[in-house]
Structure 1
Amino acid sequence: MKIRCLIIDDETLAHDVIESYIKEFPLIELVRKCNNAIEALEALQQEGNIQLLFLDIKMPGLSGINLLKSLPKAPDIIFTTAYPQHAVEGFELNAVDYLLKPFSFERFLLAVNKVRHKIELESRSAAAQGYFTVKADKRIHKLNFEDVTYMNSIGDYLKIFLKNGKVIITGETLKSIEESLPSNLFLRIHKSYIVAVSSILYIEGNQLVIAGASLPIGLKYKDQVIDRFA
């Protein structure tokens, strides 16, 4: 599964270099390029599950450091900057790596492999737990991963469809639930849908078919859905 990322930098040259490196690394999907922290905040709200930020530090307005501090739950961070003096603070904020411009493709590769290994470990850890929890009907429900078929966000509510036919309706967001799901067991196929990989029967055109339902595949998610089953 590809790692979905943003580039956040006020320099066009930095965008071009990082994008060219990403094209050489098939396990990364560039979702959007942002010129400043405000654009990045908008992208994080709009684009669903972003797992990695290539983040510059010195930018007009909000700095990369302050952007990271403002995020309640940040994606993995690789700082990309020309200023070595911020390295200690960057690592104190749990950055995975710190790339000093200009950096080579080999150094870039080392950094993204650190992220890949970290995500794989976290996914295995979440899968080993075997369940997640949601608040609904004034209760906290414990839902086993294996019992879920798919999830559908409708307005302010999220419906979680279970294999036994029950439906849990919660006020929690699809994005917040997605963060607790192992990526090897669940797949985002649309801004409003997440499916359990084990429930998928086949893909036909822009529809993903599971037992008892045909779900739409969003245009911006289609490539990652196809890649998952290629």
Structure 2
Amino acid sequence: MLRCLVIDDERIAREGLLEFIKQFDFLGVVGDYANALESLDLIRNKEVDLIFLDIEMPGIKGIRFAEMIGDLPVMIIFTTAYAEYALKGYKVNAIGYLLKPIFFEDFEKAVLKAKTWHELRHAEDSASEYLFFRENAVSHRIVITDIVYVKSLQNYVQLFLKDKRVVIVHTTLKAIQELLPAQKFIQLHRSYLAQKACITSVDGQFAHVPSAALPIARDRKQLLAELLTQREAGDR
């Protein structure tokens, strides 16, 4: 269950969010506050997974508060009546942004995204050689070294596996990259990650892996060339 905290100086706004939260069995309320600073102990004790945080509040603003807790393992969905804050919200790694008045459909999309992120970050034994990914209602246990490459499709990613399977996960490339060991995977392009050991050659604008040619961003070419040079030296 995602442990939720609601922070908003307006009582009616807090009550509305609390009612929405009750509609989902994977959400639970651990508190609601009119003043963000009063919630610090709860957050620092790692008793919160998800915060619904208003931006424009008396005293400390939501953006500033998010910066204060930026090193803590908590997800933030901003709630505000001011659309111009959206960009600032994403600069502090908010996973969602709800514009007041908040509609249930928008709330549902935001919390489903939070649920996916939570599952990916806390996948069972994620530090081991395998991870769990959910595709629709099915959970897949995937050995990390079986992932040849990852392709981003806006709000989804495709995992291309050595056995030719393709698993589609509702998340971002960045979230996947944070789960995969950096020593084994390299970002080739804003839309592609590849397992280093699966890259067989580089030809012009493309890196070749089994059954695919993946585009290489201009600023990644040198890094990839160094990787292949090191591998060749190690094989000698």
TM-score bracket, normalised by the shorter chain, equals 0.5 to 0.7
Alignment of 1:11-26 (within 5 A): 11-26=10-25
| Matched residue type, 1:93 | V
Deviation at 1:17, TM superposition (A): 0.4
Identity %: 39
Partner of 2:47: 49
Q: What corresponds to 2:68 in structure 1?
A: 70
Q: Distance in 1 between matches of 2:33 and 2:125?
A: 33
Structure 1 counterpart SS, 2:78? strand
Q: Tell me the residue number matched to 1:102.
A: 101
Structure 1: runs of 5 or more not aligned:
132-230
Structure 1 residue 97, shift from structure 2 partner = 0.6
Deviations 1:25-83 (A, max 9, x none): 1110100001111112133245x431000000011111110001111325100001101
What SS does the aligned partner of 2:107 have? Answer: helix
Q: Which runs of 4+ in 1 moved over 2 A?
A: none
TM-score by length of 2: 0.52
Aligned to 2:58: 60
Match of 1:39 in 2: 38
Alignment partner of 1:127: what SS? coil
Contact 2:44 2:72 survives alignment (8 Å): no
Q: 2:4 touches 2:51 (CA, 8 Å); kept in 1? A: yes
TM-score norm. by structure 1 comes to 0.53
Q: Secondary structure at the match of 1:62?
A: coil
Tell me the CA shift for residue 21 of structure 1.
Answer: 0.4
- Structure with bigger gyration radius: 2
> Which sits farther off after the overlay, 103-112 or 65-74?
65-74
**Matches of 1:80 and 1:23, distance apart in 2:** 18
Amino acid at match of 1:56: D
* Residue aligning to 2:116: 117
RMSD: 1.6
What's 2:7 paired with? 8
Alpha-carbon contact 1:79-1:97 (below 8 Å) kept: yes
Q: Does the CA contact (< 8 Å) of 1:57 and 1:65 recur in 2?
A: yes
- Specify every segment of 5 or more residues in structure 2 that has no aligned partner in the other structure, as ranges: 130-236
Matched with 1:127 is 125
- Higher RCO, Cα 8 Å, sep 6+: 1
Give 3-state SS (helix, strand or coil) of 1:26's partner: coil
How many residue pairs were aligned?
A: 128
Assess, with a 3 A threshold, how the Cα gap between structure 1 residues 74 and 60 changes in structure 2: closer, same or farther.
farther
